[in-house]
Amino acid sequence: MSGHAPYPGKSPYSMLSVDECVGMVTSKVLGPLETQTVQLNAALGRILAKDAVAVEAIPAFPASIMDGFAMRSKDAPGKYPVDELAGTTAGADSRGPLREDHIRYITTGAPVPAGADTVVKVEDTHQLVDADGKLEIEVLCSSKPGANIRAVGSDTKQGEVILRKCCRIGAAEIGVLAALGLASVEVFREPRVAIISTGDELVDVGAAGTLDRSRGQIVDCNRPLLCALARELGVEALDMGFVTDDLPKLRATLVSAFQQADVVISSGGVSRGSKDFIKELLSEMGEVHFGEMCMKPGKPSTFATVAGHGAQRKLFFGLPGNPVSCFVTFKLLAAPALERLRGLPQDTPIYPRVDAELADPVDMDPVRPEYHRARARWEAGRIVAESTGFQRSSRIASIADANCLLEIPKDKGTLPKGTVVKALLLPHGSRSLVPSPEGFPGGRIRAQPAKPPPATTVEAGQPLQPRPLRVGLLTIGRDASNDQAFSDLLTVLSSCEIVEKEEYSVEEKSSHFLADLLETWSRKSCQLILVLADLGLGEVDAAVVQAVREGLKEAPGVADAVARTGLALSPLAMLSPVVAGTQHDTLIVMLPSSWAPSCTAMLCKMVAALAEDLRTQL
Ligand SMILES: Nc1nc2c(c(=O)[nH]1)N[C@H]1C(S)=C(S)[C@@H](COP(=O)(O)OP(=O)(O)OC[C@H]3O[C@@H](n4cnc5c(N)ncnc54)[C@H](O)[C@@H]3O)O[C@H]1N2
Ligand code: MOO
């Protein structure tokens, strides 16, 4: 016998590893596309092309934090007439400097008048009308200079970089940009993406009722899938329809797609079938960089580049026709390239890669590593991943509800339940990582807890019941001006059970009382006791510190971390004592509460982080 074999044989492309393929795609993306200016309301989801800098301090004037009375701190407490009956309300005309021996009504956000250096809350005053009908305000408490006043630039300094170039603009960032007075922003241009389905058997979903089963017709689901995957990234896709397996028609569609788009994505026609023309057409139009990838699903994935107008060549992804292969290869190959083009820095991984424990045994493929679709959830201190079931690349149900791809190594045999594998967390989709009762732990993901989780009775696969952290809260000599700090702390601790709460005045009770109190609370199975104390270097203060320290097994790492947070906020923080240690099974942390209100958020974050650690470790 002589002549050509009628059917395509072995692939002429060598099989590259997933890393090699991803590296190849990355190397062909030169960087973000050009920049453009868009209106703020069109910037959601875009990538910022320039640092956003505060041109003005925020607040630009000393502003009241409370509804109350602006006055001179030296005058409080005492009785005073008001110098302007209407007072200073936010947004109203300026009423000039404060008269001597007077106070002035002020509302939250209004500029504090010249002459005043403190604001007293309305609750801390009495309004008196004398026999002549003259109004006087009795200020009941003392008030420190600066109390209840946001100093100029105390929220944001002039010249401060608030958002870095290349950050993704979410709702929070829109708020920040608006606060900076930016009605339009410079962002990177979105890539134009064209989506094409290929195959004689395809019928548009809109005509699903006309399917001819005898000819093996099926609904084209890849096109809606790929358009939606692009849209999830913020990229509006150009839907080029489906094309039959006809070489001239395919060529014409591809030419048209390259004329209109920066990136062209097709599905189907990349394997070894007699009508699989994609690779052939792409090597005719440009350069095919790979045509076989060692992964399951997605083996015949094809990547090519075609000359465009500028240095950045047009990218072509020929994804396999099987819908699951199409989904997975879009996530692994196309999505990172699109993200880079739209401005995300090269070194930012787009999927968090974490350790996950298999909830079920998983068979391995002896030849190709598999990207197994699964549902990950945070459970008792680690991530547990449950397979979405039978993984054949035609079974589209296996991508539904998946929120991660498990990297199953190639090997013979089965990975038993409980094996820890790497999981790529998918940021979009019907559900992201299911939070634990205490919330998703951000970047602080531990594959295995330091100790086995206490709730050992909970079987893998069953959600944990909420187990609120038990917290004791002791405030020593708390300054009324720190109410905001305290309420912020309560917000952070809102999901916790506050077992005990007490205010303690240094003058009133002895240090022994304090030590006894902590001992009793820690026996009441508090996991965390926070001692909020505005202490300095005085003798009484030292005795309080000693009393807190008594009986504690010190935890210098925690104390150091707390102190560092304070130092990052103010050099004066070094004067404030910080104590951290354990007593019985309780972590006790003493930390200042009286730092400027701007410190509070950071302190609370620290406390929340500590609380979370305790949840997983104690
Ligand atoms: N001899 C070989 N045959 C195949 C190999 C191989 O190595 N040697 N690889 C297999 C693998 S792995 C995959 S994946 C597929 C990929 O094939 P193609 O990319 O050429 O895709 P098609 O043959 O066109 O279609 C495959 C499958 O998917 C269905 N399909 C296609 N497009 C759509 C769409 N838009 N919506 C829904 N379903 C679609 C199509 O009907 C087929 O069932 O090749 C294997 N073969
Ligand atoms: O590689 Mo294919 O995508 O397994 O079905």
Choosing among 3.30.420.40, 3.40.50.720, 2.170.190.11, 3.40.190.10, the CATH entry for 63-150 is: 2.170.190.11
pLDDT of residue 480: 46
- Ligand 1 touching residue 291 (CB < 6 A): no
β 414-415/78-81 pair status: unpaired
- Return the CATH number of the domain spanning residue range 35-57+155-188: 3.90.105.10
Q: Which ligand has an atom closest to residue 319 CA? A: 1
- Return the CATH number of the domain spanning residue range 15-32+190-342: 3.40.980.10
Q: Which residues fall within 8 angstroms of residue 583, CB to CB, at 6 or more apart? A: 518, 519, 522, 551, 552, 553
Task: Tell me the pLDDT tens digit for each residue of 242-264.
Answer: 999 999 999 999 999 999 999 99
* C-alpha 316 to ligand 1 mean position (Å): 18
- Return the CATH number of the domain spanning residue range 466-616: 3.40.980.10
pLDDT of residue 610: 60
pLDDT of residue 431: 56
577, 539 in Cβ contact below 8 A?
A: no
124, 144 in Cβ contact below 8 A?
A: no
Select from 325, 396, 408 the residue to mutate for testing ligand 2; criterion: most ligand atoms less than 8 Å from CB.
325
Q: Is 168 helix (H, G, I), strand (E, B) or coil?
A: strand
pLDDT of residue 235: 92
* C-alpha 99 to ligand 1 mean position (Å): 84
584 sits in the region (left: phi over 0; alpha: psi -120 to 50; else beta) called left
Cβ neighbours, 10 Å, residue 532: 24
Atom of ligand 2 nearest to the CA of 300: 1
Task: Choose among 569, 488, 477, 479: nearest CA to 144.
Answer: 479
End-to-end CA distance of the chain: 77
Q: Which residues fall within 8 angstroms of residue 456, CB to CB, at 6 or more apart? A: none
* C-alpha 393 to ligand 2 mean position (Å): 6
Task: Tell me the pLDDT tens digit for each residue of 67-99.
Answer: 999 999 999 999 999 998 778 888 888 889 999
- Ligand 1 touching residue 83 (CB < 6 A): no
pLDDT of residue 68: 96
- Which CATH superfamily hosts domain 353-435? MoeA, C-terminal, domain IV (2.40.340.10)
**Residues in the ligand 2 pocket, defined by CB under 6 Å:** 296-299, 320, 322, 325, 393
Q: Would you state the structure tokens that stand for residue 314, as one six-digit string? A: 């047009």
Amino acid of residue 346: Q
Q: Which residues fall within 8 angstroms of residue 244, CB to CB, at 6 or more apart? A: 198, 199, 200, 202
Strand partners, 551: none
- Length in residues, the chain: 618
pLDDT of residue 540: 74
Domain ranges across the chain: 15-32+190-342, 35-57+155-188, 63-150, 353-435, 466-616
546, 511 in Cβ contact below 8 A?
A: yes
466-616 matches 15-32+190-342 in CATH topology = yes
Q: Would you state the structure tokens that stand for residue 491, as one six-digit string? A: 């917000």
Q: Would you state the structure tokens that stand for residue 389, as one six-digit string? A: 């079931």
Q: What is the ipTM of this complex?
A: 0.98
Atom of ligand 1 nearest to the CA of 223: 35
pLDDT of residue 597: 44
pLDDT of residue 2: 45
* C-alpha 17 to ligand 2 mean position (Å): 14
Q: Is 372 helix (H, G, I), strand (E, B) or coil?
A: strand
Please tell me the distance from the alpha carbon of residue 465 to that of residue 497, in angstroms, as a whole number: 15
pLDDT of residue 587: 85
pLDDT of residue 356: 96
* C-alpha 383 to ligand 2 mean position (Å): 27
pLDDT of residue 257: 97
Select from 13, 294, 296 the residue to mutate for testing ligand 2; criterion: most ligand atoms less than 8 Å from CB.
296
Cut 0.80: pTM above it: no
Please tell me the distance from the alpha carbon of residue 476 to that of residue 440, in angstroms, as a whole number: 32
- Ligand 1 touching residue 218 (CB < 6 A): yes
Q: Which residues of the chain have pLDDT under 70?
A: 1-5, 428-468, 478-483, 492, 506-510, 536-537, 594-618
Secondary structure of 114-144 as H, E, C letters: CCCCEEEEHHHEEEEECCCCCEEEEECCCCC
